[in-house]
Structure 1
Amino acid sequence: MTEHRDVVVVGGGQAGLSISWHLTQRGIDHVVLERDTVAHEWRDSRWNNFTLVTPNWQCVLPGYAYSGADPHGFMKRDEVYEFVRSYADSFGAPVRERVAVTSVQHAARGGYDVETTDGRIHTDQVVIAVGGYHIPTIPRFAEKLPESIVQLHSSEYRGSAELPDGEVMVVGTGQSGAQIAEDLHLDGRKVHLVAGKAPRVARFYRGRDCVAWLHDMGHYDVPIQDQPGGLGKRENTNHYVTGRDGGRDIDLRQFALEGMSLYGRMIDVSDTTVQFTPTLEASLDAADAVAESIKDSIDAYIARSGIDAPEEPRYVPVWRPEQEVTELDLTQCNITSVVWSVGFRTDYRWLRVGVFDGEGHPCHNRGVTAAQGLFFLGLPWQHTWGSGRFAAVARDAEFLAEQITLRVRESAAA
């Protein structure tokens, strides 16, 4: 027999659990399906020394918040995992672990048929809470590298000790790439870092964490349609910074002074020879410009609000490339491994409902799609910049819970 549930939530991470909390509070029948175990991505897809880049006080989920002794610190990987696991336990979330969803499609009798590895479930409403990072991206030209060079994606990286002896190339300077380069650098490995277009942000400025300033300024609350560039913001790379050792800037120029080799964008590979475009200096300047523009906004907010905050000198670049390298032989440099940190792509092949654009991205407004009863939660920039953070996931979940509750009441009254 086909099981029936009023709501099926796909995904048992913080997003799926957040909507589950709201549905539980409202007494709405539902089940959360998780293909692995609750919060497993925090444990299984982060490196050993991973830390959050957002302070612990921002770790707020519906009915639950960080309560440790270091609110201004940054939880490590295993602490984040336990935080989310404990959240599920705190309200007895109805999660079925190790149940994979193989398809979701419109049902002939209305609603949706959800096929799983544990049977079929018919439901009136579905919440897709699997995030937006599904399949690791590695450029096709990586296939040209010889088998003697170990290649792995940033999601597979765990630590320096698991890589072969020799020098390491890290490709990409988003949050993961910059932090992995730092991790290897601190462990004494010679690192070759291929820089992209990612912006950066200072960790602290004028006596506070920049996150705290931006939080007070309301930056995490501005709807995406009111942002410069509108929906195009969803394609933006996050600013690189670190929470390691209490938090600090990631300054690639300082790394270069300390012996890290930096390069512009990688464009091709031929056996052991790698080619780059001379974009390094422009990328470093652009990243610094973003960091300084954020400081400009903070300065203006402090002046406007009459806040007594200490003055702080502005950043002065400590290094510039004398001549950009456009070609490098990995063998001659003893580079024995490459860590690709160039992102992910989505994979919704199992979701057989027409709610996607031409590039395979969900079409939605705050998670609400044109297909009645089908919602998304936990997407980057789902509604605001804060949507990618614990606290705003909670807000996004509450909004969707209200939509779901309205539909349940309308159905009951029909």
Structure 2
Amino acid sequence: MSTAHDENPAGTGMTGRAPEQTEVVVIGAGQAGIAMSEHLGARGIPHIVLERDRIAERWRTMRWDSLVANGPAWHDRFPSLEIAGVGDDEFATKDRMARYFEEYVEMIEAPVRTGVEVTAVRKREGGAGFRVETSRGDIHARYVVAATGPFQQPAIPQIVPADAGVEQLHSSQYHRPDQLAQGAVLVVGAGSSGVQIAAEVQRSGKRVYLSVGPHDRPPRAYRGRDFVWWLGVLGLWEMSTPPQGAEHVTIAVSGADGGHTVDFRRLADDGVTLVGRTASFDGRSMHFNADLRENILRGDANYLGLLDQADEFIERNGLDLPEEPEARILGPEADCIVDPILDLDLRAAGITTIIWATGFAADYSWMHVDAFDEAGRPKHQRGVAAEPGIYFLGLPWQSRRGSSFIWGVWHDAKYLADSIEIQRGYLTYRAPGEASAPSADHRHDRREALSTGVN
């Protein structure tokens, strides 16, 4: 296997040439595609990884400047390589994470081709596998892994029209406070991104309103252990499905400033005005649900519940970890929580910018295969699609709660590589006495398979 950063490699099926042949095409060179390449390479399975931009592009350009990883370096990485220069309990910057993935590609000699956009995936006519149409020509592959992950299209609710007289941007477009217009800011969404952006913008001197919906609020650390450790020993990373009613609940946790527990009461004390979940806009005023206090109390219950489980685990296992009674002390509720704003006149409040920290939507419109439901969502079991030969990687809750995390996607990739290897084994089977001379159609497929290492 050879490492490739070449944007125009030889033999890529340029227009006028016969399609290139390989066994597996992996689409995307973020954490999912790189992990997939490692496991395919370890099994000697021929493959190509296609990336339309650069390796780990979303870490580079779809994050704000001060972002750090949400988990400590001992946890938020692949098993085979530490993040050099970052302490185990430190949080790597976004630029360091991008370099980490580049280093990983070099280490495993992943056959990554950057600057190649996949425009369509279709079942082959008159042959096995799929035709992958790209900006550099077609590629024929028996298997295709869509490793584009969940962060494909910024999701902005259709609430405020574009001509409402206020600048609107998605959290992926936010980089630093000084890019924003003069005036107050409304941040919609109180997961990790929304909370960190709201705090940063408020510290820059701007008036900030933060719309808070349902969320989980784990402690950053408790009794000397980070929350990622607690979720591990308590088996919570291995949950196969989210709790009923919590399918779209965000996690409010931060690695910023060395890591700290998100505390909405403290944010309010610091000057951030909290409001409930954003409901509608009437052309002048934004309307919020009367659920702010309920959302905060439910987040508190999630927080305290994890502390209870941690205390029980410590006692049951006889661990000598320092007690932390102050972790259970919740501060007083600010006025904005007790008497929340339900209607906010944007002009009167001086709001000139809305930042939508409302997540992303998947876009698989380029995949013309029978692997999606009526809503365009992948039909799969642990990433193995309903369409034989198609695989998905990097989806939230793909196999477990940890599937969206760096270490989790690595384990999901291993499962998919095992599945592909099993399928290859079936294709090598020959029944006793089976004729050794295949039909003309089979000879064509066999010649193609030999050229790509497919058996």
TM-score class, shorter: over 0.9
| Matching of residue 180 in structure 1 with residue 197 in structure 2 | yes
TM-score of the superposed pair, with normalisation by structure 1 = 0.94
CA distance in 2, matches of 1:402, 1:70: 33
Render the CA deviation track for 1:26-66: whole Å, top value 9, x for unaligned: 22110001111110000110001111111111133253232
CA drift at 1:202: 1.1
**Structure 1 residues 166 and 82, CA gap change in structure 2 (3 angstroms):** same
Contact kept in structure 1, 2:191 and 2:253, CA below 8 Å: no
CA drift at 1:324: 1.7
Pick the aligned partner of 2:330 from 316, 320, 333: 316
CA distance in 1, matches of 2:227, 2:79: 24
Render the CA deviation track for 1:2-33: whole Å, top value 9, x for unaligned: 11110000111011011101111222110001
Q: Which stretch has the larger CA shift, 158-167 or 351-360?
A: 351-360
Q: How many residues align?
A: 408
**What residue in structure 2 maps to residue 100 of structure 1?**
117
CA distance in 1, matches of 2:309, 2:385: 34
**What residue in structure 2 maps to residue 372 of structure 1?**
388
Render the CA deviation track for 1:281-305: whole Å, top value 9, x for unaligned: 1111111111111111111111111
CA drift at 1:272: 3.0
Render the CA deviation track for 1:251-299: whole Å, top value 9, x for unaligned: 1111111211111122221233211121111111111111111111111
| Matching of residue 215 in structure 1 with residue 227 in structure 2 | no
Match of 2:193, SS state, is: helix
**What residue in structure 1 maps to residue 368 of structure 2?**
352
CA distance in 1, matches of 2:250, 2:298: 14
**Structure 1 residues 406 and 173, CA gap change in structure 2 (3 angstroms):** same
What is the one-letter code of the residue matched to 1:81? A
CA distance in 2, matches of 1:186, 1:208: 28
Render the CA deviation track for 1:77-109: whole Å, top value 9, x for unaligned: 111111111111112211111111111111121
| Matching of residue 395 in structure 1 with residue 411 in structure 2 | yes
CA distance in 2, matches of 1:294, 1:244: 21
What is the one-letter code of the residue matched to 2:392? F
Render the CA deviation track for 1:360-383: whole Å, top value 9, x for unaligned: 211211111222111111111111
Q: Which stretch has the larger CA shift, 397-406 or 56-65?
A: 56-65
Pick the aligned partner of 2:272 from 257, 260, 266: 260
CA drift at 1:145: 5.5
Pick the aligned partner of 2:142 from 100, 113, 124: 124
Unaligned segments of structure 2, at least 5 residues: 1-17, 431-455
**What residue in structure 1 maps to residue 157 of structure 2?**
139
CA drift at 1:329: 1.3
| Matching of residue 307 in structure 1 with residue 319 in structure 2 | yes
Pick the aligned partner of 1:15 from 32, 40, 55: 32
Q: Which one has a bigger Cα radius of gyration?
A: 2
CA distance in 1, matches of 2:389, 2:405: 25
Q: How does 1:79-94 map to 2 (within 5 A)?
A: 79-94=96-111
Pick the aligned partner of 1:251 from 241, 254, 263: 263
Render the CA deviation track for 1:119-146: whole Å, top value 9, x for unaligned: 1111101111000122112122210652
CA distance in 2, matches of 1:112, 1:312: 57
Q: Which stretch has the larger CA shift, 179-188 or 15-24?
A: 179-188
TM-score of the superposed pair, with normalisation by structure 2 = 0.86
CA distance in 2, matches of 1:290, 1:347: 32
What is the one-letter code of the residue matched to 2:398? Q
Match of 1:60, SS state, is: coil
Render the CA deviation track for 1:343-396: whole Å, top value 9, x for unaligned: 221111111111112322112111112221111111111111111111121111
| Matching of residue 57 in structure 1 with residue 74 in structure 2 | yes
Q: Which stretch has the larger CA shift, 90-99 or 309-318?
A: 309-318
What is the one-letter code of the residue matched to 2:371? V
Q: How does 1:163-242 map to 2 (within 5 A)?
A: 163-224=180-241, 228-229=243-244, 235-242=247-254
CA distance in 1, matches of 2:89, 2:358: 30
Q: Which stretch has the larger CA shift, 155-164 or 55-64?
A: 55-64
